[in-house]
């Protein structure tokens, strides 16, 4: 689902609306408030939004006919989350959809409007749901990166850079589940014989200084877990990894689409497609408290051969064969 499809869906020019689904819908227009952490013109955000709209249309919802959606885009600016969340809540939507990064601000804005999240790390540890099976409040949805990913990221690093004995881990100190993720990485690193170095990513200056210092020593690689900070500064991170010839493993395909080397992670557009199912169920009367938080089910490996060549790396043939996408 690419930009053209997103624009088509956003315009509400949907395919046929099944009669059976139509009969189930209330007569009044229903309203959804959506808070996205990216900019409206971000290609990845467009794909996630398009998949959400596709899921809704498959369930009988058509923009302008029985559904209205109010979109808010934060452009990776954490300072805007609270104001945008308040704007959406003031519109009194029937249900809210939010990317995982904006859940804290959305949760502060309302404890009554039903909310579905897509890509929230550690929702139980963050205190947003009582348990995965029984969320218990007005919030439910689809969790993000699991700690078990950590071993896979380090394994990929060793595959593409067998001599790597050090790995810098870009760390967002404000990210939900960040400490747990780092702990899991440390466990996997011990088994693989890799020394980890946390690299703070509060702002562009800190990222450049930390990566420059890390790259002064040989046999290093880079792990970039999912976080708002990493997404915000992804172009800078990718440029520095290329400049210093640091083999880097990222948490999502949009880094590789922007020039990163390799990614392994969740198919986030699929999460937003699945989120449409929960929004549909809530609009039809079910409560978030009774809808269990679900884990990701689709994962993908994406490789950028152009970046590999620029860094003088040879990707193993077996890794190329098993990759979901190879960008040449």
What pLDDT sits at residue 179? 65
User: What's the chain look like in SS3?
Assistant: CCHHHHHHHHCCCCCCCCHHHHHHCCCCCEEEEEEECCCCCCHHHHHHHHHHHHHHHHCCCCECCCEEEEEEECCCCHHHHHHHHHHHHHCCCCEEEEEHHHHHHHHHHCCCCCEEEEEECCCCCCCCCCCCCCCCCCEEEEECCCCCHHHHHHHHHHHHCCCCCEEEEEECCCCCCHHHHHHHHHHHHHHHCCEEEEEECCCHHHHHHHHHHHCCCCCEEEEECCCHHHHHCHHHHHHHHHHCCCCEEECCHHHHHCCCCEEEEECHHHHHHHHHHHHHHHHCCCCHHHCCCECCCCEEEEEEHHHHHHCCCCCCHHHHHHCCEEEC
Q: What is the pLDDT of residue 183?
A: 77
pLDDT at residue number 77:
86
Which positions of the chain have pLDDT values less than 70?
Answer: 1-27, 174-180
Per-residue pLDDT at 106: 96
For the chain, list the domains and their CATH numbers.
3-144+268-298 (3.40.50.2300), 149-265+300-327 (3.40.50.2300)
pLDDT value at residue 12: 41
Supply the pLDDT for residue 142: 97
pLDDT tens per residue, range 241-251:
999 999 999 99
């Amino acid at each position: 689902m690419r930009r053209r499809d997103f624009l088509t869906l956003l315009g509400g020019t949907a395919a046929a609306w099944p009669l059976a689904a139509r009969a189930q819908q209330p007569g009044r227009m229903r309203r959804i408030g959506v808070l996205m952490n990216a900019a409206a013109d971000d290609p990845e955000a467009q794909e996630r939004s398009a998949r959400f709209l596709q899921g809704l249309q498959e369930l009988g919802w058509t923009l302008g006919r029985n559904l209205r959606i109010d979109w808010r885009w934060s452009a990776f600016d954490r300072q805007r989350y609270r104001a945008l969340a308040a704007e959406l809540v003031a519109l009194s939507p029937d249900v809210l959809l939010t990317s995982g990064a904006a859940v804290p601000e959305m949760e502060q804005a309302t404890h009554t409007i039903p909310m579905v999240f897509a890509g929230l790390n550690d929702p139980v540890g963050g205190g947003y749901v009582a348990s995965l099976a029984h969320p218990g409040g007005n919030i439910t949805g689809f969790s993000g990166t699991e700690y078990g990913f950590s071993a896979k990221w380090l394994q990929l690093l060793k595959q593409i850079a067998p001599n790597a004995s050090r790995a810098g881990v870009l760390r967002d100190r404000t990210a939900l589940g960040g400490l747990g993720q780092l702990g899991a990485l440390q466990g996997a690193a011990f088994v693989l014989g890799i020394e980890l170095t946390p690299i703070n990513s509060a702002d562009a200056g800190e990222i450049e200084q930390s990566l420059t210092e890390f790259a002064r020593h040989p046999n290093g690689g880079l792990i970039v877990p999912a976080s708002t900070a990493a997404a915000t500064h992804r172009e800078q991170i990718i440029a520095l990894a290329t400049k210093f010839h640091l083999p880097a493993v990222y948490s999502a395909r949009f880094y590789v689409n922007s020039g990163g080397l390799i990614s392994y992670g969740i198919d986030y557009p699929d999460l937003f497609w699945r989120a449409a199912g929960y929004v549909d169920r809530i609009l039809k009367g079910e409560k978030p408290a009774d809808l269990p938080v679900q884990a990701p089910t689709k994962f993908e490996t994406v490789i950028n051969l152009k970046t590999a060549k620029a860094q003088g790396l040879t990707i193993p043939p077996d890794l190329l064969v098993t990759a979901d996408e190879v960008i040449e």
